């Protein structure tokens, strides 16, 4: 039997709708002319849903080991079935490799820049390559570099991943850095950061880690970032998933190196959307907020 | 020496072996691009089947996508049934019918296995809630052929191909073919700049919307050709069209019958003649005549796919004045089901039906040759009249201005006389012709009238009211000087006998120089 096309769970559908809402808000003047780079499902239901908004779609598909052609063929076939093949360019290979090397397994190149970069990973964020490097995080960094080098003025980044195999050391280090930065700005951050560190749910720490990380990577390439509330949901086979939505605009500031424009306390205080059975609620996971503005914060 | 029985373990007696596959996949199409045409032919047939089953159905574009390392050919035709898809793996089996479908041998698909690692075909038939997939593992087949001598063809095809089925919406219908892992020696299939012009030449495409007569020709072909079908094709998302040549005359149409008395046509042609002079040509470099346009000439089409190019019709139909074949562009659509294209479609199979087709189509060439001759004559007549009118007008103006040198009078008289004779001769011919260009005839008569008047003026000695430039008189030349001058002019005239314009220019320069040297 052939592979059954992947279908969205109700929770995932809500995530897709929330992402779509951001696209419509941020690019209301250019709907229908947008370009997309990312990891769609092989059923392409997700891209087909957004197809009216898009003019150009670059999809990356690695395929199953040893049978790479199978899922790639399915994706191309579904693009034709759903009428989006005219917009679609398929890059064959691992997305991290494509982002790092800027070519797929057959030498095809992405056409930067893109308006929407959707990194909908089925695995975790802390994937390490054979050399032990966090290549996924490096790949995300390259997104900003490639967008900046190709003259992107603004773009959206959708990032989702599962909560398996978290690099606790990396996360803790990062949260400690956030604590130091907040304190440097005069915030009484100890209580809040300690609460994050002790919180039983990984999503609490990852919320802070990812938002801070992405904002910093963006700032290094002179992009100002604005984030939407992060999302926590249960994916296929009850996998815990998180999804992030960021909007970046080329900064008008000229000095380097850059620090994120979005204030750190805003990032910490951003509430999370939890999606359960297709319904969303806003929650701060019982974490304390940072209220007072420190003297150093301008 | 080992016997075949020792080489392979026999379950039964086999009558076909793996080399057949090698021959089909590697020998059928030395030009790899024909492999693409093979699959477009299947798409064309699928769309034709859909139209036969659902006459009002909208036919969607066939999509060719070059996505290295693959080429994809996809259509939303009727799609294939369970049985047809199972048989897709068969070699030399086809459920298609000659005369109805473009393909019918059932071997073309196997031409692809020589150029790719896998041939993946997925299809869903309209009304059937399933899709079927056939995967032919070409690389494995050839590996086995290398490792095991005399592999029975049956084993090879059966063991290295897969058949799967899956649920699908009943209203979806399509066939999606991927040639995956295209080999380096067939890299042209991955080159958009090669694939596109090839398909423009051979595929059953609609005419370019910019072609003025596109609609008219399509309608005529639709009326005359049974099951005439044009297929929209997108190559990497962009539409391609049949080429046309600009600056052409309105198309002419000609049915071709098997005999003088039969009423069922065996072919139907349309063609447009160059509105300009002679053959259709590509734009040449500054001041030079370009090469003959590669799209000129008539092309045979069978099921709206090209068979050969303009040279095939020239060779088979134009036995006299072959250059005139390229005064036209157009098509000869073959209707006779007995006339079958060769596999690579560079000609038709050598049968009596082909002989009859060529024989009967020669009438088209004869008619077009006649047309071309007529057009050529008319064009030449127009040019001669225009040239005559110009010469007469310019000479009259020079005479009126008193600027005609006495030395040139004789030449001018000769030129005018020659032109008038030419105009008169062509006027006579044209007046006898069935197709008269009244405007040119009227103009020719005017030229003759004015020309005769001019001739009289030029030949008048002293009686004319026109004054000519007599440089000897003007410069008061001594008789001896005048004699020398006349001798020099006579030598120059002789030198420029074939170039009156230069002679005239030289005389004028001599006059200027003499005036400058003597009077100033």
For B186-210, the pLDDT digits (tens) are: 999 999 999 999 999 999 999 999 9
pLDDT (mean) for A155-176? 93
DSSP category for residue A151: T
pLDDT (mean) for B157-168? 93
Of B172, B174, B237, the CB nearest to A86: B237
Distance from CA of B279 to the nearest CA of A (A): 39
Q: With an 8 Å Cβ cutoff, are A1 and B133 in contact?
A: no
What pLDDT is stored for residue B324 in this prediction? 93
CA A24, A26, A29, A31 torsion: positive or negative?
negative
Distance from CA of A74 to the nearest CA of B (A): 9
DSSP bridge partners of B74? B63, B176
Among B157-171, B215-229, B273-287, whose mean pLDDT is lowest? B273-287
pLDDT digits 0-9 by tens, A55-69: 999 999 999 888 999
pTM of the model: 0.81
pLDDT tier, A4 (very low <50, low <70, confident <90, very high otherwise): very low
Distance from CA of A95 to the nearest CA of B (A): 17
Whether residue A2 lies within 8 A of chain B, CB to CB, comes out as: yes
Token pair in block for residue B90 = 């068969």
Cis peptide before A257 (omega within 30 of 0): yes
Long-range contacts of B82-85 (CB under 8 A, 24+ apart): B82/B128, B82/B130, B82/B132, B82/B165, B84/B123, B84/B125, B85/B121, B85/B123, B85/B132, B85/B133, B85/B134, B85/B163
Is B14 buried (19+), middle (13-18) or exposed (0-12) by CB count in 10 A? middle
What pLDDT is stored for residue A296 in this prediction? 47
At A54, which helix (H) or strand (E)?
Answer: strand A54-61
Distance from CA of B276 to the nearest CA of A (A): 40
Instruction: Please give the distance of CA B434 from its chain centroid, rounded to a whole number.
Output: 29
**CB count, 10 Å around CB of B499?**
11
Q: What is the CATH number of domain B214-228+250-371?
A: 3.30.230
The single residue listed with the structure tokens 């070519």 is A103
Instruction: Identify the CA nearest to A74 among candidates B129, B133, B190, B66.
Output: B133
Token pair in block for residue B440 = 């040119």
Report the CATH number that the domain containing residue A70 is assigned in CATH. Answer: 3.40.50.150
> DSSP letters of B90-147?
SSS-----BTTBS--SS-GGGGGGGTEEEEEEEEE-TT-SEEEEEEE-HHHHHHHHHH
Domain coordinates of chain B in residue numbers? 14-202, 214-228+250-371, 470-520
Can you give the residue range of the structural domain that contains A113? 10-165+206-283
What is the Cα–Cα distance from B41 to B24, expressed in whole angstroms? Answer: 17
Q: What's the full length of chain B, in residues?
A: 520
B184 phi and psi angles, rounded to 5 deg: -60, -35
Are the CB atoms for A225 and A258 separated by under 8 Å?
no
Distance from CA of A4 to the nearest CA of B (A): 8
Q: With an 8 Å Cβ cutoff, are B237 and A76 in contact?
A: no
**CB count, 10 Å around CB of A86?**
17
Q: Using a pLDDT cut of 70, give the percent of chain B over it.
A: 92
What is the Cα–Cα distance from B399 to B409, expressed in whole angstroms? Answer: 10
pLDDT digits 0-9 by tens, A203-247: 999 999 999 999 999 999 999 999 999 999 998 888 999 999 999
> Which residue has better confidence, B277 or B327?
B327
Whether residue A107 lies within 8 A of chain B, CB to CB, comes out as: yes
What pLDDT is stored for residue A102 in this prediction? 97
pLDDT digits 0-9 by tens, B40-59: 999 999 999 999 999 999 99
Residue of B nearest to A70 (CA): B120
Distance from CA of B101 to the nearest CA of A (A): 24
Whether residue B74 lies within 8 A of chain A, CB to CB, comes out as: yes
pLDDT digits 0-9 by tens, B110-158: 889 999 999 999 999 999 999 999 999 999 999 998 898 888 888 888 8
pLDDT digits 0-9 by tens, B361-407: 999 999 999 888 888 888 889 999 999 999 999 998 888 888 788 88
Query: Does residue A105 sit within a domain?
Result: yes
Supply the ipTM of this predicted assembly: 0.85
- The angle at the Cα of B69, spanning B65 to B73, to the nearest 5 degrees, equals 30
pLDDT tier, A3 (very low <50, low <70, confident <90, very high otherwise): very low
Are the CB atoms for A82 and B176 separated by under 8 Å?
no
Is B332 buried (19+), middle (13-18) or exposed (0-12) by CB count in 10 A? buried
Instruction: Identify the CA nearest to B33 among candidates B232, B143, B182.
Output: B182
What pLDDT is stored for residue A297 in this prediction? 45
Whether B25 has a pLDDT exceeding 80, the answer reads: no
Strand intervals (E) in B313-451? 328-334
CB under 8 Å to B196, separation ≥6 — which residues?
A: B235, B240
Q: Give the strand pairing for A116-124 and A34-38.
A: parallel
What pLDDT is stored for residue B103 in this prediction? 56
Q: How far apart are the first and last CA of chain B?
A: 110
Residue of A nearest to B181 (CA): A69
Token pair in block for residue B22 = 């090698």
Among A24-28, A288-292, B6-10, B210-214, whose mean pLDDT is lowest? B6-10
pLDDT tier, A187 (very low <50, low <70, confident <90, very high otherwise): confident
Q: What is the CATH number of domain B14-202?
A: 3.30.565.10
Helical pair A202-220 and A135-149, crossing angle rounded to 10 deg: 30
Token pair in block for residue A133 = 């490097």
pLDDT tier, A52 (very low <50, low <70, confident <90, very high otherwise): very high
Residues 124-153 of chain A with CB under 8 A from chain B are none
Among A209-213, A263-267, B69-73, B303-307, whose mean pLDDT is lowest? A263-267
What pLDDT is stored for residue B313 in this prediction? 96
Of B67, B68, B133, the CB nearest to A2: B133
Whether residue A108 lies within 8 A of chain B, CB to CB, comes out as: yes
Of B70, B164, B176, the CB nearest to A80: B176
pLDDT digits 0-9 by tens, A79-102: 999 999 999 999 999 999 999 999
Query: Does residue A198 sit within a domain?
Result: no
Q: With an 8 Å Cβ cutoff, are A73 and B180 in contact?
A: yes
Instruction: Identify the CA nearest to A224 among candidates A257, A255, A260.
Output: A260
Query: Does residue A290 sit within a domain?
Result: no
Of A80, A106, A108, the CB nearest to B74: A80
A235, HSE (Cβ side, Cα atoms, 13 Å): 21
pLDDT (mean) for B4-24? 66
Q: Compute CA distances B446 → A240, B377, B440, whole Å.
A: 96, 20, 10
Token pair in block for residue A158 = 């959708």
**CB count, 10 Å around CB of B513?**
10
- Please provide the average confidence, as pLDDT, over all residues in chain B: 88
Whether A73 has a pLDDT exceeding 70, the answer reads: yes
DSSP 3-state of B453: helix
What is the Cα–Cα distance from B132 to B86, expressed in whole angstroms? Answer: 9
Query: Does residue A192 sit within a domain?
Result: no
Which residues on chain A are in Cβ contact (under 8 Å) with B167?
Answer: 4
Whether residue A55 lies within 8 A of chain B, CB to CB, comes out as: no
What is the Cα–Cα distance from B144 to A123, expressed in whole angstroms? Answer: 38
What is the Cα–Cα distance from A139 to A99, expressed in whole angstroms? Answer: 5
Q: How many CB pairs under 8 A join A and B?
A: 54
- Residues B57, B61, B63, B64: what is their CA dihedral angle, to the nearest 10 degrees? 130
Whether residue A67 lies within 8 A of chain B, CB to CB, comes out as: no
The single residue listed with the structure tokens 């929407």 is A116
Token pair in block for residue B76 = 């939303």
Token pair in block for residue A90 = 């398929």
> Which residue has better confidence, A211 or A269?
A211
Query: Does residue A92 sit within a domain?
Result: yes
What is the Cα–Cα distance from A280 to B135, expressed in whole angstroms? Answer: 44
Of A76, A81, A107, the CB nearest to B72: A76
CB under 8 Å to B94, separation ≥6 — which residues?
A: B103, B104, B105, B106
Q: With an 8 Å Cβ cutoff, are B234 and A86 in contact?
A: yes
What is the Cα–Cα distance from A41 to A94, expressed in whole angstroms? Answer: 14
Query: Does residue A189 sit within a domain?
Result: no
Residues 417-456 of chain B with CB under 8 A from chain A are none
Q: What's the full length of chain A, in residues?
A: 298
Whether residue A66 lies within 8 A of chain B, CB to CB, comes out as: no
- Please provide the average confidence, as pLDDT, over all residues in chain A: 89
Whether B105 has a pLDDT exceeding 80, the answer reads: no
What pLDDT is stored for residue B104 in this prediction? 56
Q: Give the strand pairing for B116-124 and B174-182.
A: antiparallel
- Residues B269, B275, B280, B282: what is their CA dihedral angle, to the nearest 10 degrees? -140
CB under 8 Å to B270, separation ≥6 — which residues?
A: B217, B220, B221, B251, B252, B253, B254, B330, B331
B352 phi and psi angles, rounded to 5 deg: -65, -30
A89 phi and psi angles, rounded to 5 deg: -120, 125
């Amino acid at each position: 039997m052939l592979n059954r096309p992947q279908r969205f769970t109700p929770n995932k559908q809500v995530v897709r709708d929330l992402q779509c809402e951001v696209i419509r808000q941020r690019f209301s003047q250019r709907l229908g002319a947008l370009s997309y780079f990312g990891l769609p499902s092989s059923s392409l239901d997700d891209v087909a849903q957004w197809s009216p908004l898009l003019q150009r779609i670059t999809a990356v598909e690695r395929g199953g080991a040893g049978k790479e052609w199978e899922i790639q063929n399915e994706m191309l076939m579904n693009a034709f079935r759903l009428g989006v093949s005219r917009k679609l360019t398929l890059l064959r290979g691992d997305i991290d490799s494509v982002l790092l090397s800027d070519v797929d397994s057959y030498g095809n190149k992405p056409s930067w820049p893109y308006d929407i970069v959707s990194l909908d990973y089925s695995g975790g964020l802390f994937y390490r390559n054979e050399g032990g490097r966090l290549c996924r995080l490096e790949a995300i960094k390259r997104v900003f570099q490639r967008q900046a080098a190709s003259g992107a003025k603004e773009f959206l980044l959708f990032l989702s991943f599962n909560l398996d195999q978290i690099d606790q050391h990396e996360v803790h280090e990062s949260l400690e850095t956030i604590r130091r930065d907040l304190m440097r700005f005069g915030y009484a951050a100890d209580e809040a950061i300690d609460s994050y560190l002790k919180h039983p749910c990984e999503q609490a720490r990852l919320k802070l880690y990812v938002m801070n990380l992405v904002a910093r990577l963006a700032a290094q390439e002179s992009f100002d970032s604005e984030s939407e509330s992060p999302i926590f949901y249960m994916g296929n086979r009850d996998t815990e998933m998180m999804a992030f939505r960021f909007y970046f605009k080329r900064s008008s500031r000229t000095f380097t190196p850059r620090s994120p424009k979005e204030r750190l306390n805003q990032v910490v205080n951003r509430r999370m959307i939890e999606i359960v059975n297709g319904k969303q609620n806003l929650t701060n996971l019982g974490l304390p907020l940072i209220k007072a503005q420190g003297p150093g914060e301008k | 020496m080992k016997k075949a029985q020792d080489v392979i373990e026999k379950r039964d007696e086999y009558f076909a072996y793996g080399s057949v596959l090698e021959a089909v996949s590697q020998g059928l199409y030395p030009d790899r691009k024909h492999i693409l045409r093979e699959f477009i032919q299947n798409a064309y047939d699928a769309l034709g089947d859909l139209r036969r089953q659902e006459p009002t159905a909208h036919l969607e574009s066939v999509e060719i996508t070059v996505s290295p390392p693959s080429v994809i050919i996809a259509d939303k035709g009727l799609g294939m049934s369970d049985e047809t898809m199972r048989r897709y793996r068969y070699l030399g089996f086809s459920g298609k019918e000659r005369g109805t479908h473009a393909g019918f041998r059932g071997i073309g698909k196997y031409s692809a296995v020589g150029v790719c690692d896998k041939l993946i075909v997925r299809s869903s038939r309209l009304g059937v809630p399933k899709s079927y997939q056939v995967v032919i593992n070409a690389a494995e087949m050839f590996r086995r052929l290398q490792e095991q001598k005399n592999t029975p063809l049956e084993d090879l095809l059966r063991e290295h191909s897969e058949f799967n089925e899956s649920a699908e919406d009943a209203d979806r219908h399509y066939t999606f073919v991927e040639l995956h892992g295209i080999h380096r020696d067939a890299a042209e299939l991955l080159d958009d700049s090669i694939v596109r012009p090839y398909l423009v030449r051979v595929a059953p495409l609609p005419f370019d919307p910019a072609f003025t007569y596109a609609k008219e020709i399509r309608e005529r072909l639709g009326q005359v050709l049974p099951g005439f079908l044009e297929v929209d094709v997108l190559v990497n998302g962009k539409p391609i069209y049949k080429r046309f040549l600009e600056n052409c005359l309105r198309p002419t149409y000609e049915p071709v019958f098997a005999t003088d008395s039969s009423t069922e046509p065996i072919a139907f042609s349309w063609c447009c003649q160059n509105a300009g002079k002679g053959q259709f040509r590509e734009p040449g470099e500054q001041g030079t005549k370009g090469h003959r346009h590669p799209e000129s000439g008539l092309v045979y089409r069978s099921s709206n796919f090209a068979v050969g190019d303009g040279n095939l019709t020239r060779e088979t139909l134009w036995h006299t004045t072959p250059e005139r074949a390229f005064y036209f562009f157009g098509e000869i659509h073959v209707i006779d089901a007995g006339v079958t294209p060769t596999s690579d479609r560079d000609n038709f199979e050598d049968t009596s039906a082909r002989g009859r087709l060529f024989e009967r189509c020669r009438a088209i060439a004869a008619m077009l040759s006649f047309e071309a001759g007529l057009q050529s004559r008319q064009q030449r007549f127009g040019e001669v009249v225009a040239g005559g009118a110009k010469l007469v007008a310019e000479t009259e103006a020079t005479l009126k201005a008193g600027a005609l040198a006495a030395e040139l009078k004789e030449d001018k008289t000769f030129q005018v006389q020659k032109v008038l004779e030419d105009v008169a001769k062509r006027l006579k011919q044209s007046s006898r012709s069935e197709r008269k260009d009244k405007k040119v005839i009227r103009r020719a008569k005017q030229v003759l009238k004015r020309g005769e008047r001019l001739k009289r003026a030029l030949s008048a000695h002293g009686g004319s009211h026109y004054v000519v430039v007599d440089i000897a008189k003007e410069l008061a030349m001594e008789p001896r000087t005048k004699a020398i001058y006349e001798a020099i002019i006579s030598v120059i005239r002789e030198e420029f006998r074939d170039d009156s314009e230069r002679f005239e220019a030289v005389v004028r320069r001599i006059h200027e120089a003499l005036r400058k040297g003597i009077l100033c």
